Structure 1
């Protein structure tokens, strides 16, 4: 520390001893100038190095991000290549399917053209043969008759068309094959008649299925089907027509079931069994007593009775109410009466009806008896409460009170039973049902009371 100070002091002394000329730069100025330039150079170099460092770091970061991007692009390229391979396989498979489809379509077209040509040839031969038969004379009565039938069918004059066809068919059935007409001519003419008869059958069926058709018009239409030999179709139309009428009447009545809670089942029973009776009567009048037709009526009636039992249960009031009990009794009374009327005609539906209604009947009776039992138990409890406070000073109060309680409970029991049982129709079946449940209930009540 002392040495530099001495040197600087010596230099100052020299400068004082030897004053410089103007053209000579002092040593201190030179050193200051070099020192400032060196510091600036070092600072500039340091700043350039820092900039270079930042640039290198940015370059490394860019290279790393670009490397990751390159890896990602490489993976996407591999996936795209795999998708292209799959797409190529799919395209080749679709191409094979298209080729198979084209070959199949071509094969089907060839077969269709072959068959259509054959059919066209057959139809052409038949039509030409029929034309040859009918074009012998332009005033041929067969041609005139077929034209008249076509006009009647086009105008929906079914009765006239039916009468004309029936007359013409009977004429050809009674005449012999002798004459100028050959077998081919007769066969062609019968084929033309059969074709028009099938058209008449379709028109009669559609006419019979109209909802607004009256019973008289329905009978005429069904009689027409019978005349052209379609008795089975006519019977099916009869069942279908009456079934649609019944369903329409039932649908119109169902909204009022909530109003007539006790008598709705009787009305439904009347609708169903009256329809069955009408069908039986019409079938016997139009078709006679045929076992086949009777079996069809039985199947149709069983289906309608099953629907009736389902509607009775669905529209019933609460099963534990007295209204439900009365509704069940009225239902059984009316349905068994209707069944007894049908049994005279050979239709027995009593067993089926009771089989379908038995679960509903048992449920209503059981729940009503539970309601009665609750009332009896409640009345017995009230009697117990009254018995707890006998009058004092009465010597016979202890012995009379239990008897009075039993007498009061018994009277209430009998009154409840009378209220419930007065709605019961005393037919044998319902009577047995009710007595069975009453006896079992009495056993439970008195068994409960004795405990």
Structure 2
């Protein structure tokens, strides 16, 4: 109901003022009619008296004018004394006695008029005197009410007396005007320009303004009660004073702080104003919506500037970040388990730019006080997501391949220090994962708690609020995961390209490496192709690094290795030039080439399976690739299954290769002297190696 009233308040106030003016006009009309009635009655009585005392027949004109003035009557003597007494009371400013005298004069005039003890002339004179003295007293009271020295009881007395004189609207206006003048006078002592911090000025101004409004409301209620017209005028006046004070706070405090991104200063000043304003609610004055409407742009500006500062600050640190993970500085480590950064106690290692991002997000979440009332929690959360998106882009640009692309395109993006080693590049993923898994979701929970506050004495409502937030949290998790996936995909794409292509742009994974095998007369020494050896070595190194960085998040490390393997195999599956040479020639794929290709794919399946990152998708793609190669050989007229060894042979060779590449094989009884992990193993010596190999 209150919201509805405030929504149509201007119309309500305008109608109330029109009714008040109409009441004043009706009162003036009543007085005018009373005066006219008295005049008409006096004229009638005068005519009646002349008819009762006509000149006698035969009398002369001299006789008619030859008489002495009669002695003044008792009522006429009272009238003279009354006028003199009233003038003395007004001169001495004895308001209560003057009011009593005026009331007595009106009663006496009515009685005399009723009993016809006053002549029309005397009655008219009495009425005029009372009206003039009332106006004079009203002017004196108005002048007294406007004096700065008139305070408290004196002001209420003067306003009350003015109301009793029948001029209530004027009395209420003077009451509010008096409080406004005192407010302006007291505000002269406030000096905002001399203070470096605006909280003290805001508190002093708010206390002065809202205490004045509270006093004006008390005086209005004491004198005029809860009459709608006067209550509406009081609310209108209070809104104007609140708006004026809010504009002063914005001009002297919020403007500069908001532009500089000082969200904490802005938030504290807004909270101070709202705190003092809330004290008026017990008096029926809900002025908080006025403050919120005026302060919202400043808070939005401060929030936006703060979010922008997060992007700029993290970007500046990223230009010098060595991408090594470390614990946060002792001074910046959050204390207690209930703080937003309590998660850092369990996974505290981040690079310097990520630590900076974390601390600045914590600062925003510590300053979220006015965001609840201003309904800016969603805006703050969306801004944090945008800041995280910018940070993800920075991390992507830190990958060597992204840096080269950026320089070629001339995109003009921020300068970022390149993550040269695999450890540094995986540290980029660790930064993104920790922020997305812990920091931002906890910030979202804190912000969403502001949107749906729960009460201690209402557990069912608290549970329903928590359930209502679940879809929002799931959507947030998905958005964060998509951003992390962008970094992960860029990481996998870069390392896949490093494996597939040489430094000078040549292709390591080509059809020629398989087709040319059948042109050699001697039987080859069977071992996985070098490109797949390199893929296995890279995945092994990354698995070791990830096991140290992703403690408690092994699933992410597994998915990372899975995606990297899939990226290489999918490139092979989609390489049209590779399959055109395999399927169309000019040289066909022979038995030895098919056997090597089959061995390479089985090798990938085996080490991915042992590393527990063989996905169903990866397994199916490899099977499809093998089937396509078999079909290419079958198209030449050969039966591919007759030229290939048994399945166990491929598994044995792949297992031996893994042992050799990891240094776990023992070849003491092998005919060939294997001196390095990259040496080949003859198909004839496979069984010997397997029988004597160390597990």
Q: For residues 96-245 of structure 1, what are the structure 2 equivalents within 5 Å?
A: 136-137=72-73, 140-173=77-110, 177-245=114-182
CA–CA distance in structure 2, aligned partners of residues 189 and 305 of structure 1 = 48
The aligned residue for residue 302 of structure 2 is: 364
Are positions 1:376 and 2:327 aligned together?
no
Q: Confirm or deny: 8 A CA contact 1:134 1:143 kept in the other structure.
A: no
CA–CA distance in structure 2, aligned partners of residues 153 and 284 of structure 1 = 28
Q: Confirm or deny: 8 A CA contact 1:269 1:335 kept in the other structure.
A: yes
Q: Secondary structure at the match of 2:358?
A: helix
CA–CA distance in structure 2, aligned partners of residues 365 and 197 of structure 1 = 60
CA–CA distance in structure 2, aligned partners of residues 302 and 189 of structure 1 = 45
Question: Per the alignment, do residues 313 and 134 of structure 1 end up closer, same or farther by CA in structure 2, a change over 3 Å counting?
Answer: farther
The aligned residue for residue 444 of structure 1 is: 390
**TM superposition shift of 1:238:** 0.8
**TM superposition shift of 1:212:** 1.5
Q: Secondary structure at the match of 1:348?
A: coil
Q: In structure 1, which of residues 301, 313, 316 is the aligned counterpart of residue 250 of structure 2?
A: 313
Q: For residues 338-417 of structure 1, what are the structure 2 equivalents within 5 Å?
A: 338-384=276-322, 406-417=350-361
Deviations along 1:418-451, one digit per CA (max 9) or x if unpaired, are 3454344266235615334323332333344434
The aligned residue for residue 64 of structure 2 is: none
Question: Per the alignment, do residues 408 and 151 of structure 1 end up closer, same or farther by CA in structure 2, a change over 3 Å counting?
Answer: same
CA–CA distance in structure 1, aligned partners of residues 191 and 111 of structure 2 = 56
Structure-1-length-normalised TM-score: 0.60
CA RMSD of aligned residues (A): 3.4
Deviations along 1:224-245, one digit per CA (max 9) or x if unpaired, are 1122112211111110011111
Q: Secondary structure at the match of 1:221?
A: helix
Question: Per the alignment, do residues 423 and 377 of structure 1 end up closer, same or farther by CA in structure 2, a change over 3 Å counting?
Answer: same
Deviations along 1:202-232, one digit per CA (max 9) or x if unpaired, are 1111111111122111111112112211221
Question: Per the alignment, do residues 436 and 248 of structure 1 end up closer, same or farther by CA in structure 2, a change over 3 Å counting?
Answer: farther
CA–CA distance in structure 1, aligned partners of residues 370 and 248 of structure 2 = 24
Q: In structure 1, which of residues 287, 295, 304 is the aligned counterpart of residue 224 of structure 2?
A: 287
CA–CA distance in structure 1, aligned partners of residues 185 and 372 of structure 2 = 34
Question: Per the alignment, do residues 256 and 408 of structure 1 end up closer, same or farther by CA in structure 2, a change over 3 Å counting?
Answer: closer
Which is further off, 366-375 or 226-235? 366-375
Q: Secondary structure at the match of 1:136?
A: coil
**TM superposition shift of 1:170:** 4.0
Which is further off, 420-429 or 208-217? 420-429
CA–CA distance in structure 2, aligned partners of residues 175 and 356 of structure 1 = 62
The aligned residue for residue 212 of structure 2 is: 275
Q: In structure 1, which of residues 411, 418, 422 is the aligned counterpart of residue 362 of structure 2?
A: 418
Between 1 and 2, higher relative CO (CA 8 Å, sep ≥ 6) is seen in 1
Q: Confirm or deny: 8 A CA contact 2:257 2:265 kept in the other structure.
A: no
Larger proportion of helix:
1
Q: Confirm or deny: 8 A CA contact 2:263 2:367 kept in the other structure.
A: yes
Deviations along 1:298-317, one digit per CA (max 9) or x if unpaired, are 21112112212211111024
CA–CA distance in structure 1, aligned partners of residues 153 and 306 of structure 2 = 49
CA–CA distance in structure 2, aligned partners of residues 208 and 219 of structure 1 = 9
**TM superposition shift of 1:416:** 2.6
CA–CA distance in structure 2, aligned partners of residues 147 and 239 of structure 1 = 34
CA–CA distance in structure 1, aligned partners of residues 106 and 229 of structure 2 = 27
Question: Per the alignment, do residues 334 and 255 of structure 1 end up closer, same or farther by CA in structure 2, a change over 3 Å counting?
Answer: closer
**TM superposition shift of 1:374:** 1.8
CA–CA distance in structure 2, aligned partners of residues 312 and 162 of structure 1 = 45
The aligned residue for residue 335 of structure 1 is: 273
**TM superposition shift of 1:137:** 5.0
Question: Per the alignment, do residues 356 and 419 of structure 1 end up closer, same or farther by CA in structure 2, a change over 3 Å counting?
Answer: closer
Question: Per the alignment, do residues 210 and 264 of structure 1 end up closer, same or farther by CA in structure 2, a change over 3 Å counting?
Answer: same
Q: Highest CA radius of gyration, 1 or 2?
A: 1
Question: Per the alignment, do residues 308 and 199 of structure 1 end up closer, same or farther by CA in structure 2, a change over 3 Å counting?
Answer: same
CA–CA distance in structure 2, aligned partners of residues 426 and 154 of structure 1 = 56
Deviations along 1:277-326, one digit per CA (max 9) or x if unpaired, are 2211111111100110111112111211221221111102443446x423
Q: For residues 238-253 of structure 1, what are the structure 2 equivalents within 5 Å?
A: 238-253=175-190
**TM superposition shift of 1:339:** 4.2
Q: Confirm or deny: 8 A CA contact 1:320 1:368 kept in the other structure.
A: no
